[in-house]
Chain A
């Protein structure tokens, strides 16, 4: 004998589940539509964890398919060349984060199917720190890090 109230709860739970799913996909779609806008929350974050949260990358998985090219020792923190190669299939986004900078998130690149999972640029770093590359591939987040030693900081 099935308790009718239990049935109702299940039905509601199912409906609620479908509703939240719809909400989530809706959010994902709308965030894609405004991709050209500036991620203010992320770029103003003062801690790496907050920056990751603003990217929607709560806890990225470390991956060996992301290669960071950066010097082991950079004499001038104002110009640190960094290149990121992602060999992950369906790479959608590459972000560069310097863990100990006053504002860790430095750049986010939305990579479409028309370009390879590769970006290279030059960043400013205040002190010796890990440089992280956070890659979004197929909807999941992956990360890799490399330590860069800074002789003279480049934030001021």
Chain B
């Protein structure tokens, strides 16, 4: 059910520029479908980013984050080949983890 994330991590000096694109409906709980019924709230609540197993960002979100959310961050002290792992959990208990290696600067 949970769609894979798109993660890109590129090295800029000793900082890894990490960009994550989540695929998630992020329903606010106020939108109505074509029949006029309210679509229940369904959104990512927790996001954790780790660098070689060490947590570097721990985020909590509300339903006010846009559909198919984007998250950008910069990880210090990174080297090419380091592992960046991202985990999210939504309010229905759905969860997914994806991992990428930091790519060397072009």
Q: In chain A, residues 118-151, which have Cβ atoms closer than 8 Å to a Cβ of chain B?
A: 118-125
How many A residues touch the partner, as a band?
35 or more
In this assembly, does B34 line the interface, its C-beta being within 8 Å of a C-beta of chain A? no
Residues A108 and B60 in contact, CB atoms below 8 Å apart: yes
Residues A110 and B62 in contact, CB atoms below 8 Å apart: no
Rounded to whole angstroms, the CA-CA distance of A112 and B65 in the bound complex is 22
Rounded to whole angstroms, the CA-CA distance of A116 and B76 in the bound complex is 6
In this assembly, does B2 line the interface, its C-beta being within 8 Å of a C-beta of chain A? no
In this assembly, does A35 line the interface, its C-beta being within 8 Å of a C-beta of chain B? yes
Rounded to whole angstroms, the CA-CA distance of A73 and B67 in the bound complex is 20
Residues B60 and A121 in contact, CB atoms below 8 Å apart: no
Rounded to whole angstroms, the CA-CA distance of A122 and B15 in the bound complex is 22
Residues A122 and B65 in contact, CB atoms below 8 Å apart: yes
Residues B45 and A123 in contact, CB atoms below 8 Å apart: no
Residues B65 and A111 in contact, CB atoms below 8 Å apart: no
Residues A123 and B66 in contact, CB atoms below 8 Å apart: yes
In this assembly, does B103 line the interface, its C-beta being within 8 Å of a C-beta of chain A? no
Residues B75 and A115 in contact, CB atoms below 8 Å apart: yes
Q: B4 — which chain A residues lie within 8 A by C-beta?
A: none
Chain B 44-61, CB within 8 Å of chain A: the 1/0 string? 011011010011111111
Rounded to whole angstroms, the CA-CA distance of A83 and B73 in the bound complex is 10
Question: If the complex has contacts A79-B66, A103-B62, A155-B28, are A114 and B56 also in contact, measured as CB distance less than 8 A?
Answer: yes
- B residues sitting closer than 8 Å to A (CB atoms) are 15, 28, 30-32, 45-46, 48-49, 51, 54-67, 69-77
- A residues sitting closer than 8 Å to B (CB atoms) are 35-36, 38-39, 43, 78-81, 83, 98, 101-103, 105-116, 118-125, 154-156
